Amino acid sequence: MDRLVDQWPKLSSELRDALIAEDEVGLANSVDSLEVVQACGCGDDFCQSFYTADPPDGAYGPGHRDVLLGPPWTGMLILDVVGDEIVYVEVLDRPPLD
């Protein structure tokens, strides 16, 4: 497994900055330790989403929430958060990750 910050440094920086702008400082502080566990695998050409924790068996369940992060980038960036942990990063309609 690779750390997100090593694999995609620009995305990591954007993610951290966007979380701080959304007053999600605790999540922003966790960005440097996130690992890319597995690609989404849906096969859609507009999707570059990935898991930062083992995928769930079904729904995430209690404590799950979505965090929609706004621009300055093109496309959509939505986080699945369980408790205080980012478990999935949904990356849609965005140029190749860097």
Please choose, from the candidates 59, 65, 55, 1, the residue with its C-alpha nearest in 3D space to the C-alpha of residue 27: 65
Q: Is residue 68 part of a domain?
A: yes
In a domain, 97, yes or no: no
Residue 98 inside a domain? The answer is: no
Tell me: the pLDDT tens digits for 14-52? Answer: 999 999 999 999 999 999 999 999 999 999 999 999 999
Q: Give the model's pLDDT for residue 70.
A: 81
Domain that holds residue 44: 2-92
Report the distance separating Cα 35 and Cα 1, nearest Å: 6
Tokens of 23: 């007053």
Task: Walk across the sheet containing 64-69 and list its strands.
Answer: 38-39, 50-51, 85-92, 76-82, 64-69
Quote the pLDDT of residue 73: 77
Classified as helix, coil or strand, 6 is helix
pLDDT tens-digit series, residues 44-93? 999 999 999 999 988 898 899 999 998 777 888 999 999 999 999 999 99
Q: How many domains does the chain have?
A: 1
